[in-house]
Amino acid sequence: MPDRPLLLAAALADRRPAPDHAALTARALVAERAGLDLVVLEPGPLDPLLVAARLAAQTAAVGIVPVTSTTTTEPFHVSTALATIDVVARGRAGWVLAVDAPDDVRTTVTWDVPDDVPGDAAEHLEAVRALWDSWEAGAVIRDVATARFLDRDKVHHVDVAGRHLAVRGPSITPRPPQGHPPVLVRVTDDATLDLALRHGDALLTRDEAVARGGGPAATGPLRLLEVDVDPTDLDGLAARLVDEHAAGVHGVVLHAADLEGTLAVLLPALAERDVRPTAAAPPDPDPTGEDPPAAPPRSLRDRLGLPAARNRFEVPA
Amino acid sequence: MSAPRKQVRLAAHFPGVNNTTVWGDPAAGSHIDLASFAHLARTAERAMFDLFFLAEGLSLREHAGHLHDLDVAGRPDAMTILAALSAVTEHIGLAATLTTTYHEPLEVARQLATLDHLSGGRAAWNLVTSTDAVSGANFRRGAYLPYDGRYDRAGELLTLADRLWAQGPGPFATTGRQVSLAGEWDLATPPQGRPVILQAGDSDAGREFAAAQADAVFTRAGTIPEGRAFFADVKGRLARHGRRPEDLLILPGATFVLGDTDEDALERAAHVRRQQVSGPTAIVFAEQLWNRDLSAYDPDGPLPDVDPVEGEITIAPGSIPARAFAGKRHETVEGLRAMAARDGLSLRDVMVQTRARHSFVGSARTVADLIDEQVQADACDGFILVPHLTPGGLDEFADRVVPLLQERGSLRTEREPGTLRDRLGLPRWTPGQG
């Protein structure tokens, strides 16, 4: 039996033209109260980054992880949006990086989408991370004696120059609370698997062999298996997750229509088999946003067992 | 029965990344944390403001070849923080500035519609265009857009967004000089039909764009005669676009300093103005005007004795004040020299006098009078107020000025039902209009 508990996530989606965002919030709170590690905000008619920001203000413990494509976005905007969500969530943000098929999106943006979308994604992610590093932790000094707000030696141009994109930096948003919010790569083929293995903190896959750590995935990022929940066989699901955990899967992303009903069966079964302990009740969210508790919540990096993020611009003491 | 009194429209501008924002005061807090944004937005909401307003900058400011380090720098992403604020406010409009130059058309349309859905019809967009190559270096296409193309892209982007918001789910295709896109739109028409659109920019092209397309204009504050002239000009353009004068609101940006008495307010303003213009900031201001290195001069000494340099802007490229002085640097410097000689002022004193003015200074009663007078005189429809402190810079205004405006019937005491657009008295937008 692996010694680390099974990570548990819920995918939240509403692809109807007029999504019920209150219901999305309700499901995120179900996940939070059940002690889940994170919720994944799926793409849909509503922009997942904005839905994530709202959920970040409505929750107090669970990781908030929107899915955003690199193919149709500017790394600068994605970097500042994720940093902002991490600020609102006080260190609970993450990112599911997805890659589009170029022919599906070529006519939806005003730049030329390259055929090499995995290469574009790698450069995009590099730019996002470089921008997160562009402000060192102590960059804001507010030194009244010298009239300086900023220590400009601690804010850096990033000068990312790839084959597909270039970003000068620095970011307009200071370094997020986690330094680097965790980057989870959604694996859909060999190219995205390669991207995940090289650059991801975690991967999401529907391929059990990959999720168990077969082949090149044996060492490298955390492996989370995406599972569609069959509500008529929750006992079977529990048994399967116990087996997958034993086989080396680090975590599971549940795609469930009835999240509450699913967790009511699943969580006791996983606790009983020592796959995942019962979670303590989380604190209530701050309804005003003005008065957060003094102590920040447990960071998503910590929940995932990731080490503190290093800053490429910081000289080791 | 007399006509109902004209209502004052109020917006709260989150303190910006410039010297107006005082960061060194003991009361100055975080410019990043949600708590600061929530406090200011909720204070404005409690005080019956219509809008909470965020600016945008897509690069850090630079001066003399370095990042500018004297002012507040860094901010969250505007749309993202507004989405978070939609969870902790109920009524106030949430306005983000987004440049059409460096945001993608479909992303702008989706994000604004998303915010409108999340907030129950409270989204607003301050539409601006960019020329700034420093920002361009942060984006995929670089500084791709020639000056003349800016409004082409802005117009085409807004036309497409209007169409998508109005049509709801279904296929779309558009071909323009700057924006040619096609695909499948998947989101229902937002609660307001169209988010409230503000336009900033006082040029003739900007005024015409506003008259044709915008719901409100964010402009500079001035005297009552200046305001009346601008008001008459812009509102006079509306009929040509089939619109009524009340279909476009004119909202100047304004600063304020309150005191227990007018004398007390003047004293406080003098203190704030010196906080806003430190010695090093005075040198930077002088360098923007002189267009040359003045770092060897003492801000507490006389004005620099060298001549300003016309021509290419070398020390503060990208700086709006540096550009604004072009062609009149010598006469401006002569004017300042005369002022300094007459009043015995140092370089810093001169910059405090000329670069740190406040729109409204006085007791709560005086400030309420000044605001109401401008609105009732049709110099504007209200103000976008810019406090100098984060997060408490609006508290005193909410507690002391707002009740006086309410007392005289110029500001609502209860919130009307409906969306932001409804509350502002703006018509539902018909695509193709304008």
Contact A53 B83 (CB under 8 A): yes
**pLDDT tier at B270, thresholds 50, 70, 90:** very high
∠ at Cα B280 (B275, B283), nearest 5°? 115
Instruction: Tell which phi-psi region holds residue B318, choosing left (phi > 0), alpha (psi between -120 and 50) or beta.
Output: left
Residue type, B120: G
Contacting A residues, span 65-104, partner chain B, CB-CB under 8 Å: 72-74, 76-77, 80-81, 83-85, 87-88
Query: Cα–chain-centroid distance for residue B360?
Result: 17
Whether pLDDT at B176 is above 90 = yes
Whether pLDDT at B107 is above 70 = yes
Lowest mean pLDDT among B113-117, B127-131, B291-295, B418-422: B127-131
Whether pLDDT at B55 is above 70 = yes
* Two tokens, residue B94: 């949430």
Evaluated on CA atoms A285, A289, A292, A298, the torsion sign reads positive
pLDDT on residue B131: 80
Query: Cα–chain-centroid distance for residue A107?
Result: 28
- Per-residue pLDDT of A118-132, as tens digits, reads 999 999 999 999 999
| Shortest Cα–Cα distance, B61 to chain A (Å) | 10
Q: What's the CA gap between A83 and A129, in Å, rounded?
A: 10
Q: Mean pLDDT over residues B129-157, rounded?
A: 89
Chain A residue closest in CA terms to B40: A290
Whether pLDDT at B25 is above 70 = yes
pLDDT on residue B428: 86
Tell me what the pLDDT averaged over chain B comes to: 95
**Which CATH fold would you assign to the domain A7-106+173-303?**
TIM Barrel (3.20.20)
pLDDT on residue B430: 61
Q: Are B253 and B386 in contact (CB under 8 A)?
A: yes
* Helices A48-58 and A75-88, packing angle to 10 deg: 10
- Per-residue pLDDT of B64-86, as tens digits, reads 999 999 999 999 999 999 999 99
* Cross-chain CB nearest to B69 (options A74, A149, A174): A149
* Cross-chain CB nearest to A107 (options B115, B169, B183): B183
Mutate to test the interface with A, among B32, B39, B80 (most CBs of A within 10 A): B80
Residue B283 CB-density burial (10 A; 0-12 exposed, 13-18 middle, 19+ buried): buried
Q: Mean pLDDT over residues B151-170, rounded?
A: 95
DSSP string, A37-64: SEEEE--SSS-HHHHHHHHHHH-SSSEE
Q: Mean pLDDT over residues A252-270, rounded?
A: 97
Q: What is the dotted CATH code of the domain comprising B9-259+358-423? A: 3.20.20.30
| Alpha-carbon distances, residue B212 vs B234, B251, B274 (angstroms) | 10, 17, 42
Percent of chain A with pLDDT over 90: 95
Whether pLDDT at B129 is above 70 = yes
Radius of gyration of chain B (CA): 22
pLDDT on residue B36: 98
* Cross-chain CB nearest to B138 (options A85, A147, A168): A168
pLDDT on residue A181: 98
Q: What's the CA gap between A149 and A157, in Å, rounded?
A: 18
* Two tokens, residue B61: 């400011």
* Two tokens, residue B116: 């409108």
Query: Cα–chain-centroid distance for residue A33?
Result: 19
- Per-residue pLDDT of B402-433, as tens digits, reads 999 999 999 999 999 999 999 999 998 765 44
User: The tokens 């018909």 sit on which residue?
Assistant: B430
Q: Are A232 and A205 in contact (CB under 8 A)?
A: no
How many helices and strands, by DSSP H and E, does chain B display? 16, 14
Whether pLDDT at A95 is above 80 = yes
H helices of A134-247, in order, are: 190-199, 208-211, 234-246
Q: What's the CA gap between B339 and A113, in Å, rounded?
A: 58
Q: Which residues of A touch B140 (CB under 8 A)?
A: 74, 111, 165
Neighbours of B64 (CB within 10 A): 15
User: The tokens 């006791």 sit on which residue?
Assistant: A268
- Per-residue pLDDT of B253-266, as tens digits, reads 999 999 999 999 99
Provide the β-strand partners of residue B258.
B362
| Shortest Cα–Cα distance, A75 to chain B (Å) | 8
* Extents of the domains making up chain B: 9-259+358-423, 278-355
DSSP string, B360-418: EEEEHHHHHHHHHHHHHTTS-SEEEE--SSTTTTTHHIIIIIHHHHHHTTSS-SSPPSS
Q: Which residues of A touch B68 (CB under 8 A)?
A: 150
pLDDT on residue B434: 39
**Residue A166, C-beta contacts closer than 8 angstroms, at least 6 positions apart:** A160, B137, B142
Mutate to test the interface with B, among A50, A78, A134 (most CBs of B within 10 A): A50
Whether pLDDT at A298 is above 80 = yes
Q: Mean pLDDT over residues A41-56, rounded?
A: 98
* Extents of the domains making up chain A: 7-106+173-303
**pLDDT tier at A44, thresholds 50, 70, 90:** very high
* Cross-chain CB nearest to A87 (options B34, B139, B141): B34
pLDDT on residue B319: 83
* Two tokens, residue B88: 């902790």
ipTM above 0.90, yes or no: yes
Lowest mean pLDDT among A238-242, A279-283, A298-302, B48-52: A279-283
Whether pLDDT at B326 is above 90 = yes
Q: Are B89 and A288 in contact (CB under 8 A)?
A: no
* Cross-chain CB nearest to A165 (options B42, B110, B140): B140
Q: What's the CA gap between B49 and A117, in Å, rounded?
A: 46
Lowest mean pLDDT among A296-300, B127-131, B308-312: B127-131
Q: What's the CA gap between B240 and B247, in Å, rounded?
A: 13
**Could you tell me which of A281, A226, A278 has the C-alpha nearest to residue A256?**
A226
Contact A109 B104 (CB under 8 A): yes
3-state DSSP assignment of residue A248:
coil
Q: Mean pLDDT over residues A4-12, rounded?
A: 97
Q: Which residues of B touch A169 (CB under 8 A)?
A: 138
Q: What's the CA gap between B242 and B244, in Å, rounded?
A: 7
DSSP string, B321-345: HHHHTTT-HHHHHHHHHHHHHHHT-
Q: Mean pLDDT over residues A58-63, rounded?
A: 98
Contacting A residues, span 142-201, partner chain B, CB-CB under 8 Å: 142, 144, 146-152, 155, 165-174
Whether pLDDT at B1 is above 60 = no
Q: Mean pLDDT over residues B371-391, rounded?
A: 98
Whether pLDDT at B141 is above 50 = yes
Percent of chain B with pLDDT over 70: 98
- Per-residue pLDDT of A203-242, as tens digits, reads 999 999 999 998 777 778 999 999 999 999 999 999 999 9
Q: Are B185 and B168 in contact (CB under 8 A)?
A: yes
